[in-house]
Amino acid sequence: MESRMLGKTDIRLSPIIMGTWQTGRSMWTGIDDAQSEKAIQAAMDAGITSFDTAEVYGNGHSEKILGKAIGSHREEVEILSKVFANHLKYDQVIDACNRSLKNLGTDFLDLYQIHWPSGAFGSTVVPLEETMGALTDLKDQGKIRAIGVSNFSLDQLKEICAIGPIESLQPPYSLFWRQVETDTLAWCRTHGVTILAYSPMAQGLLTGKFGPDHQFEKGDHRSSNRLFQADVYPHVQQALDALRPIAAKKGVTMAQLALAWVIARPGVCAIAGARNARQTTDNAKAAGITLTEAELSELERISRPVTDLIDDNPVQWKW
């Protein structure tokens, strides 16, 4: 699997990154720790070297499972974690990073990201200079190798880039969620900021496994995703029906088609979650799929009736 450069650093990431939100179990249903460990190990076997986690995923549970599964292979992988919006004061950032390092059983993170901007979810507003001061000190101490942000608007990204070097932006990005294309994608490409696309399969929608009458189990946060709401979901199903013959003709799964579309963009990696080894192995194969310009145009055309229904609110969920 051909690696891609992280921002302006010498750090290389796999184009398919394994996401581990589900590994934390909180806000998900049917997650098994043993299966999560096997999924992570299968990812490494399949050529995925990069793993994205966060302190808030199960209050550190995701980090602990990830660290355990990586085990003695730490020097062969890149670990990406995140500090939440309620821990952005100087001392809080330092403490959160140290907790993450302990959870993961490592002495450094390859990328440490601000998960949500200060003030999100009612958190205390903290000056960017204070947060960046802590992140810069962690970098100087060798505890983190690079700094990134997640869920930042373009204006917020520009503001923090004026304070210090930011190597990545982690936004939601898929065939069905394309707000980043408005202006952010081009700006990041020009300024050497790597896009780490989360929910590249639209939280499972683009796998095609959710039918017209699908109902999530109680406790599954995806029931709040705006793509699953009554005004959008019928259009999603129509788009999926149009995508199925394209995937079949190429001999790939719907999930692989969705991932291949995301990583076809220069400077973009896709963060793909998985519950088990089979899913991670299948996800990894997307890195070997090439889409023609005609195929890319057709996929974009099919997605537009869905994306045109989504407003400018960057948050995917009705929380």
Q: Residue 194, CB half-sphere, CA atoms under 13 Å: how many?
A: 28
Q: What is the mean pLDDT of residues 204-214?
A: 82
**Looking at the 3D structure of the chain, how many domains does it have?**
1
**d(C-alpha 160, C-alpha 166), whole Å:** 8
Query: Of the residues 57, 112, 173, 233, which is catalytic?
Result: 57
Q: What is the pTM of this model?
A: 0.94
319 pLDDT higher than 70:
no
In whole angstroms, give the CA distance from residue 78 to residue 283.
Answer: 18
- CATH label of the domain that carries residue 197: 3.20.20.100
Residue 303 lies in a domain: no
pLDDT, tens digit, 9 for 90 and up, residues 263-273:
999 999 999 99
pLDDT recorded at residue 109:
98
Indicate if 173 belongs to the active site. Answer: no
Residue carrying the six token digits 């670990």: 79
Residue 218 belongs to some domain of the structure: no
Asked, for residue 307, whether it belongs to a domain, the answer is: no
Whole-number Å distance between alpha carbons of 280 and 18: 8
Tell me if 230 is assigned to some domain: no
Task: State residue 218's pLDDT score.
Answer: 65
Mean pLDDT, rounded, for 131-151: 98
Domain that holds residue 94: 4-207+253-291
Q: pLDDT tens digits, residue range 291-313?
A: 999 999 999 999 999 999 887 76
What single letter denotes the amino acid at residue 44?
Answer: M
pLDDT of residue 230: 82
For residue 86, being part of any structural domain is answered with yes
Contacts of 257 (CB under 8 A, 6+ apart): 206, 243, 246, 247, 250, 286, 289, 299
* Residue 132 covered by a domain: yes
In a domain, 318, yes or no: no
Residue 146 lies in a domain: yes
d(CA 100, CA 104): 6
Give tens-digit pLDDT for 73-126: 999 999 999 999 999 999 999 999 999 999 999 999 999 999 999 999 999 999
**N- to C-terminal Cα separation, the chain:** 37
| pLDDT at residue 204, rounded to an integer | 86
pLDDT digits (tens, 9 = 90+) for 222-263: 777 788 888 888 999 999 999 999 999 999 999 999 999 999
